[in-house]
Amino acid sequence: IIFQPEIRNALEQLGKKQIVTSHRSLTMDEREKIRQLIDTLNDASKAYYNGMDERMSNFEWDEMFDELRKLEEKTGIIYDDSPTHTTGAEEDDEGRQNHEYPALSLAKTKQVEELIKWAGGRTVNLSWKLDGLTLVLTYDNGMPSKILTRGNGISGTNITYMKNVIGQIPGKISYKGHLVVRGEAAISYTDFDYINEVLDDEKYANPRNLASGTLSLDKSNLDKDARTVAVRHTPHRTRGK
């Protein structure tokens, strides 16, 4: 399908840019459904990543996400703001640095067979999903040299100044080479409930937002904030080495 110039311009003016790779005839219901799913999912993600009340459960989000992905594969339509091709990320660009390796999203599956196929006969470790804030640690000469948040997967916020106050980040390792490792800064629901009770400032909607808010505390007042991070008990759990 090749759009005429006037049609393409109209789409761009509406802010609904799309890439069309399919040659099949599409119904307006399919287009509207795709647009509806994108808007609903993006609204839920915005609320989730910015500390607002949750719009839906993780299960409901995954169900709608899977429906959107199937419709995109069926129709060939992918809007530029589709959550299947974007990541939830911090909006503040201050202190951003590029990742040495892209911090991409992990694939999802609900089928045991798919997991077995992915493992390819290798031994794998399973754990409960940690709903926190992805961090990317860099070690040089056995010492942590940089800590970045995931951000948009290409660049993240540099929070290296918090390396001494985030629980379970080793201050020294035996390996002396260059090492990049991804992990998750997470707060348990038990700790989340307790911390929300004792916090004097605004309450948080979920543990992920509390972890994110804790790690975005102001560098200029580090002494006070460092104690706050320690009190909030934000451990970092690595996913690889």
Query: Which residues are catalytic, by number?
Result: 129
The dihedrals phi and psi of 205, each to the nearest 5 degrees, come to -80, -30
Single out the residue of 65, 45, 90 nearest to residue 211, CA to CA. 90
Alpha carbon 117 to its chain's center: 25
The answer for residues whose C-beta is within 8 angstroms of residue 75's C-beta and 6 or more apart is 22, 24, 26, 30, 31, 34
Would the CA dihedral through 227, 233, 239, 241 be positive or negative? positive
Contact between 67 and 37 under an 8 Å Cβ cutoff? The reply is: yes
Contact between 210 and 59 under an 8 Å Cβ cutoff? The reply is: no
DSSP H/E element including 190: helix 189-198
